Amino acid sequence: MDETVAEYIRRTVLKIPRCQIMEMLTMWEFLSKTQLQTINVHQLKERISQAVVELCEVITSIVNDQIVSNSHNFVFTISGIFSCITGEETDSFNLADFKYKFKRSLRSALKNVTINFREYEDNAIWIRIAWGTQYTKPNQYKATYVVYHSQTPYVFISSLRSSIPLLCQALVHASNYHDIHEMELRSRCIDSLKDIVFKRYSQTFQTYHPRPLQERNVAPEKVDPRIIQENKREKERIQSVNQEIFGEGLQPKIEFAQYKLETMFKGEPEMDILTEKEPFRCVVKFSSPHLLEALKSLAPAGMADAPLSPLLTCIPQKARNYFKIKERKGILSASCLGP
């Protein structure tokens, strides 16, 4: 077995916390039950990892079945694939054909590259690519992961690198599409990215005629009548507007949004100080463990107006979280001029 691969396996096992080793090794599925039983997890970790490597030496197919477990550590970028209808119905997706074409395309451009495939039940194909150069072996530690759902025109790629054009070329060739372009949507959570592009979150429908609040027959609570809730109607209005904009269910999970603003400075009418003709350039970044939920809670907390700006609420619909906003003649709107 290749020394770099052996070393990689050894280091990966060392990184796993002792209590999770057995679980992880079972998940990887390349060691048989009897082999797993021979590993003693109570010895020094060095010895454990060495034992795993020795067991792997026996299996030559190790390279074809790599580990795809730490997906939550990657930041995924979406690349969208555009299909071009050529007039004839494409055949049903052929996995073997796809793999062959992908490998051939990539290998013809770059000799030193490790490619592994893994299929999952939900028609997702995970591709792991370790990149080398003309003179060096593939670097197993900085692999790129690609997730392709064969029934959709979307590809998710972890970590943008200089080798992306080669990768895109291979993907286009293998999938029989014509072109591929990058979408401005990034997140750590691939499931959320899928939710957004596959429109799996609870969507809202724009209402142009806001409904008046309906009176509900609620039994009056036994509260001291001297206590009045301030701005009760306003609070209810905010709740209802929020609901209309964000929908009922849980928002897809993204961690950040970035806006590059190149609009003219304009404060309140009384502070019309800057008479510059140049735009006021700034970059605004929002970050949160769960950004959309946080934004949703701003108006009820009194820190934002309801409805919240469409620049923020359009994130799931427009499937992007990187924006460049320029001044538009007339009213400022969510005009996203991007690449």
Q: Which is nearer to other proteins, 224 or 270 (CB)?
A: 270
Whether 161 contacts 50, CB under 8 Å: no
Tokens of 199: 């429109």
Q: Is 283 in the site for other proteins (CB under 8 A)?
A: yes
Report the alpha-carbon distance of residue 307 to residue 268 in Å, rounded.
19
Query: Which of 74, 126, 177, 259 contacts other proteins by CB under 8 A?
Result: 259
Stretch that binds other proteins, among 60-68, 77-85, 171-179, 308-316 (CB under 8 A): 308-316
The DSSP secondary structure of 85-96, one letter per residue, reads --SSPPPSP-HH
Pairing mode, strands 144-149 and 154-158: antiparallel
Q: Is 241 in the site for other proteins (CB under 8 A)?
A: no
Report the alpha-carbon distance of residue 193 to residue 199 in Å, rounded.
10
Report the alpha-carbon distance of residue 254 to residue 187 in Å, rounded.
5
Whether 25 contacts 52, CB under 8 Å: yes
# binding residues, other proteins (CB under 8 A)? 41
Stretch that binds other proteins, among 125-133, 168-176, 231-239, 261-269 (CB under 8 A): 261-269
- Helical (H) or strand (E) element with 126: strand 124-131
Q: Taking the complex as a whole, how short is the minimal distance between the CB of residue 233 and other proteins, in angstroms?
A: 20
Q: Taking the complex as a whole, how short is the minimal distance between the CB of residue 182 and other proteins, in angstroms?
A: 24
Q: Taking the complex as a whole, how short is the minimal distance between the CB of residue 279 and other proteins, in angstroms?
A: 8
Q: Taking the complex as a whole, how short is the minimal distance between the CB of residue 321 and other proteins, in angstroms?
A: 14
Looking up tokens 């071009």 gives 84
Catalog residues that contact other proteins under the rule CB under 8 A. Answer: 259, 261, 263, 265-268, 271, 273-274, 276, 278, 280-291, 293-295, 297-298, 301-305, 307-309, 311-312, 325, 332
